């Protein structure tokens, strides 16, 4: 049943042109912009991968992964309520857990696919631009691998869970979107700490970040189940 809900979410996402442009366009533009930054710095042949800030630039895709799915997830409940398409779904025998899991999958898959797609463009361009300077290909390696394949998906799940919680309590699509969009703040804080040298994006640090975000994801999932109340949504939302 969660997959049935997820497939419905995929169809809704494809029909929303603004969301599709946002999903596809933003990661690609970021990849191009970051590649241009790297190209600008590569003129100095003595630069290292750390000097180029490749780990930092890769981590920005984690911030993107946290924010990108919130527009889908925030719409997932309050948007359907506004369009009168939520009531038939809530009237089915689908459990709250199955419904929330399906909506999570529906927001996660397109968002993480777009994020990884943009990161692939960035990685390919960066390897092409930096090989003569570094004398090796920075991508793939452990640090960007953990960043993009572990931290980014966990960040996306966190953003989705927060957006689902907000969309189940707020009766306005714009309000849910704006509040959910604040998910960039904790990950931007980590990024700034990296820029300032307070932390280094090595394997150990990334695994600690993954563990913290993973625990938060579990807490938020159970919190969303506790907060979600289909009877209240059906009877009190106007």
Whole-angstrom Cα distance, residue 175 to residue 116? 28
Task: Measure CA of the first residue to CA of the last residue in the chain; give whole Å.
Answer: 27
pTM comes to: 0.86
Predicted local confidence at residue 51, as pLDDT: 64
Residue 22 near residue 70, CB atoms below 8 Å? no
> Quick one: residue 197, left, alpha or beta (phi over 0 = left, psi -120 to 50 = alpha)?
left
Q: At 107, is the pLDDT very low, low, confident or very high (cuts 50, 70, 90)?
A: confident
Q: 159, 58, 200: which is closest to 118 by C-alpha?
A: 58
Whole-angstrom Cα distance, residue 106 to residue 30? 23
Whole-angstrom Cα distance, residue 160 to residue 150? 16
Whole-angstrom Cα distance, residue 220 to residue 42? 42
**Rounded CA Rg of the chain:** 19
Mean pLDDT, the chain, as a whole number?
82
DSSP state of 93: S
Total residue count of the chain as it appears in this document: 238
Predicted local confidence at residue 161, as pLDDT: 86
Number of Cβ within 10 Å of residue 114's Cβ equals 22
Instruction: Return the higher-pLDDT residue of 38 and 93.
Output: 38
Q: What is the pLDDT of residues 173-184, one digit of tens each?
A: 665 666 666 778
User: Could you tell me how many helices (H) and strands (E) the chain has, helices first?
Assistant: 13, 0
Whole-angstrom Cα distance, residue 227 to residue 221? 10
Whole-angstrom Cα distance, residue 60 to residue 42? 20
């Amino acid at each position: 049943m969660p997959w049935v809900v997820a497939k419905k979410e995929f169809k809704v996402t494809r029909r929303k042109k603004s969301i599709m442009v946002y999903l596809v366009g933003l990661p690609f533009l970021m990849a191009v912009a970051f590649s241009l930054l790297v190209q600008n710095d590569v003129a100095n042949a003595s630069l290292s991968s750390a000097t180029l800030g490749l780990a930092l630039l890769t981590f920005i895709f984690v911030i993107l992964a946290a924010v990108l799915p919130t527009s889908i997830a925030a719409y997932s409940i309050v948007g359907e309520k506004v369009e009168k398409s939520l009531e038939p779904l809530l009237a089915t025998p689908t459990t709250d857990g199955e419904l929330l899991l399906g909506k999570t999958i529906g927001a996660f898959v397109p968002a993480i696919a777009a994020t990884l797609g943009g990161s692939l463009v960035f990685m390919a361009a960066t390897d092409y631009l930096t090989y003569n300077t570094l004398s090796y290909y920075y991508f793939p390696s452990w640090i960007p691998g953990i960043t993009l394949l572990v931290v980014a998906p966990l960040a996306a799940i966190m953003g989705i869970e927060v957006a689902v919680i907000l969309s189940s309590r707020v009766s306005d699509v714009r309000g849910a979107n704006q509040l959910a969009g604040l998910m960039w703040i904790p990950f931007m804080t980590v990024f700034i700490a990296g820029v300032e040298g307070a932390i280094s994006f090595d394997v150990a640090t990334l695994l600690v970040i993954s563990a913290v975000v993973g625990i938060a994801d579990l807490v938020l999932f159970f919190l969303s189940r506790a907060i979600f109340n289909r009877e209240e949504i059906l009877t009190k939302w106007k």
